[in-house]
Each structure stands twice: as structure tokens, then as C-alpha cells.
Amino acid sequence: MKKSALDRLLEDRRERRAVAMVTALDTGDQRMVYLDDVGAEGDLAAPLAEAFARDKSQTVEIGGAEHFIHVFNPPLKMIIVGAVHVAQALIPIAEATGYAVTIIDPRGAFATEQRFPSVRLYDDWPDEILPDLDVDHRSAILALTHDPKIDDPALTFALKSSCFYIGALGSRKTHAGRRERLLANGFSDADLDRIHGPIGLDIGARGVAEIAVSIMAEVTRSLRQGAEAGA
Amino acid sequence: MSVLDTSVLAQASAWAEEGRQVALATVIQTWGSAPQPVGSQLAIDADGNFVGSVSGGCVEGAVVTEAVDVIETGKPATLQFGVSNETAWEVGLACGGTIRIFVEKLN
């Protein structure tokens, strides 16, 4: 690989551009293909499109020559609304599984750098800051405050976005009330089925660390098996 | 692709900027159970220092040895490891899978 190509790749990662490095394995020749340019790739177009869509690098044979398609999709993003205790337990697991984490909480006493040293932190209202955060199909949005004043605007934004996962903390009763409020605001039942609530897989979690594990497992299932998995 | 993989590429770039000779090893294909997915990478310098992982530790030693050769010759190489391949390589994968790895020089 050329050093210049490597640096361009790292720059693309920072800028959240979807790009693939295609290597002809017999010669070692390489070139970069951006997601938007896949259509012009002839015989490679279909395997490239598949590799981007499934986030799956693969080796394919085209015209008797092997090509390795190395996909670099934008990094995964987790936006957590609520600078709460569960969030503190969740952040290290999310970071280890490849997510850049952002925390939003308008209550300044919660959203402090001391409590959340490694992440991007905003003490804004969710509906004010979320439009600036480039939410896309590689993003998960989690509402963890228990407070409808803060959670509902976040969920309203999430439901209108292409994010692959939406979760909300709270009991079944809390979630039923939440659904009623959002229905009254014009969302359909099918829309609201995108929200995982109560958040997390039912693994009998006790304490914040185990709850964090159950949440991370559910987010991972949506990422790898699609939003409909387990629904 | 995980954050960890990006840090491998960032390390490779940083090493090159220090003037070190660097090779990249990438898992390009797997069959059966394999400890690291396709796309996982290892960065190696000419002294055999490495960061990242292509197998969870099973074959890194052999890959590093090959990478040092690739740095010298400048020619890319494709390696294959599996439990049934003992005659070619002394190391293998305990999990029973097979992996192919592409090794290239950063230049």
C-alpha cells in the first residue's frame, strides 16, 4: 500500500466517508473506490455494493484474477441521551465494540467531563443538537434519562432519521405511556415499533454493568441481523 | 471494521513517518471458524515489532517473519494457515479454521 493511500484512508475515516480499498492479489496493485462511484466499476460493482451494504470485506474472482475488497464504512456512532450511571457503564463496552460515543444531557450537573472523560459531551437539549451530529445508517440513538421532557424530543428525532437502532430506558408501563404520547404526536404504531423499550435484551440483568451488557447485545443484534431481529 | 483496526493503520502511518520500514498484513479470506474476521490487520516494522491481530495470537509469529521478508523484497505475498497445512507451516489454528493473509509493504 502506498503511504499516500493509507493517509487518505485515515482521512476518509475521520470524515466518515465510505470507501473500499481494492487489491489485485496477483500484482498487489491497489485503488480506492468510494461508495458513490460503485456503479462505474463494471464486474466489480455488484460485489462492491454487497460489501458496503453488509459491511463485509471479501475476496472475489473477476476474469480469472482475485481481488480483495476491503470495506471501510464510516465508524459506528452511539448517541446517548442522558449522562446517567448506565451510560458510564455502557461507554467502555461501546468503545471496545467500535462505536464513537456522544453524550447529550441538558442538565449541566450530569454532563461533566469529569464523569465522562473519553466522549463528546453536549449539555444542549437533544432536539437542538441532534441535527448537527450527522446521524446516519451507522448510528444508534439511546434515550436513558427516564424524563419525557428530555427523552421524547430525542426519540422524535431518532424516528425521523435512518439510524439503525433506537432504544429507550424504562419499565413496560413507562414505555406504554411513551408510545401513547408519540402516537398523539403523529407517529404510527409501525414507526414506534422501531423503539426498543424497555431497552436491552431480557437477560435478567442486575445493576448498571449487566444492564449495559444487555443494551450492547441488543444494539449488536440490530447491527448484525437487522432491525427486525428479535422483534 | 472496528476502532481497533483503524488504530493499526494509524500506527503504520506513524511508524512510516518516523522513517521505519513497515508492512501490513490483512486477513483476506476465512473458512470455518476463524478468530478474526476478514479485514483484520497487523502492522509490522522491519525489526519485527507489531500491532494489531490477524488470528488472536495463533499465527502472528509466522506472519511477522514473512512480513520482514516482504519489507526486504518489496514483493507482496499471500499466506495460508490451517490445521491441515502442517507440512507447509509449523503453526496452525487451534480452532480448526483456515485463513488467508495478504502481506504488503508500505511504500
B90 falls in which pLDDT band (50, 70, 90)?
low
Residues of A in contact with B29 (CB under 8 A): 58-59
Higher pLDDT, A79 or A231: A79
Residue B86 pLDDT: 53
Q: Which of A3, A28, A57 sits opposite B39 (nearest CB)?
A: A57
Look up the domain containing B33 and give its range: 3-106
Chain B residues 66-95 with a CB less than 8 Å from chain A: 75-76, 78
Q: Is pLDDT of A163 > 90?
A: yes
pLDDT in tens, B27-75: 999 988 777 889 999 999 999 999 998 887 778 899 999 999 999 999 9
Residue B1 pLDDT: 42
Indicate the range of A70-84, A173-187, B78-92 predicted with least confidence.
B78-92
Which residue in chain B is spatially nearest to A68 when comparing CA positions? B28
Please name which of B30, B35, B42, B37 lies closest in space to residue B100, comparing C-alpha atoms.
B30
Q: Is pLDDT of B87 > 60?
A: no
Domain count for chain B: 1
CATH number of A76-225: 3.40.50.720
Residue B3 pLDDT: 42
List Cβ neighbours of A224 (8 Å cut-off, separation of 6 or more): none
Residue spans of the domains in chain A: they are 3-72, 76-225
Q: What's the CA gap between B43 and A200, in Å, rounded? A: 36
Residue B4 pLDDT: 45
Q: Is pLDDT of A43 > 60?
A: yes
Q: What ipTM does the predicted assembly reach? A: 0.85
Residue A227 pLDDT: 66
Q: Is B101 on the interface with A (CB under 8 A)?
A: no
Would the CB atoms of A3 and B28 count as touching at under 8 Å? no
Distance from the Cα of residue A58 to its chain's centroid: 22
Closest chain A C-alpha to B101 CA, distance in angstroms: 10
Which residues in A138-169 are b (16+ Cβ under 10 Å) and which e?
Answer: bbbbbbbbeebebbbbbbbbbbebebbbbbbb
Closest chain B C-alpha to A38 CA, distance in angstroms: 19
Residue A137 pLDDT: 81
Would the CB atoms of B38 and A95 count as touching at under 8 Å? no
Mean pLDDT of A183-187: 96
**Pairing label, strands A120-122, A99-104:** parallel
- Measure the CA angle with vertex B90, ends B84 and B95; round to 5°: 50
pLDDT in tens, B73-84: 999 999 998 855
